[in-house]
Amino acid sequence: MNNQDNFFEFLENEISEKEPSYLIDILPKRSLYSGYFKVEDYFLTHSTLESIRIKHIEIFLKLMCYYECKIYLCKSTHFSSDDSLDNLESSFMKDINCLPVEEVVKLCSYALSNSKVILYLYFPSIHSLIVKNEDDYLILSIFGFQEKVDFDLLEQLSSSEGLFLRKMV
């Protein structure tokens, strides 16, 4: 069984029917206040979005210092044949620990800024996954990180970037 098969098996068995356990978010808890949407629009249309992308990438790079990591990019379900994505086939997986850091940053930046790409960062040794869904630019969905030591590390890294690791509600 190759790495891509392992990933798909993990995705099917562990993730497909489940909600993410946690989110990495710009806010420490969910907001139900109607004013949130004005602020969200600001973050999505202002240069602040680029700084959030950089924070996400910084977390990814720091996690690579602790765990083997594979990146999996795929076209979202909203992708039509009329759309074009530079050099992206329908999907691909790479062991990003073997890539130069600059290439990792480039791949992640591309995925984080593209509404037609779903980004999966898979950590096989701890059976965990970080997902950026197609149009969700402000949060990352977290699956796994069940061991306290792994969770604590993710929480510290999120906090160091001024972001919050919070329970999905």
The pLDDT tens digits of the residues spanning 104-117 come to: 999 899 889 888 88
Q: Which residues pair with 3 in a beta bridge?
A: none
Classified as helix, coil or strand, 74 is strand
- pLDDT category at 88 given cuts 50, 70, 90 is very low
The least confident of 13-22, 41-50, 92-101 is: 13-22
Report the distance separating Cα 145 and Cα 125, nearest Å. Answer: 11
Top-confidence range, 29-38, 79-88, 89-98: 29-38
Q: How far is CA 12 from the centre of its chain?
A: 18
For residue 14, give the nearest of 105, 124, 117 by alpha carbon. Answer: 124
Evaluate whether 29 touches 166 at the Cβ level (below 8 Å). yes
Asked if residue 148 has pLDDT above 90, the reply is: yes
Model's pTM, two decimal places?
0.82
Tell which wins on pLDDT, 42 or 95.
42
What does the pLDDT look like over 18-30, one tens digit per residue? Answer: 667 899 999 998 8
Structure tokens, 148: 């306290």
Domain layout of the chain by residue ranges: 3-78+85-167
What does the pLDDT look like over 117-145, one tens digit per residue? Answer: 888 898 989 988 899 876 778 999 998 89
Evaluate whether 62 touches 157 at the Cβ level (below 8 Å). yes
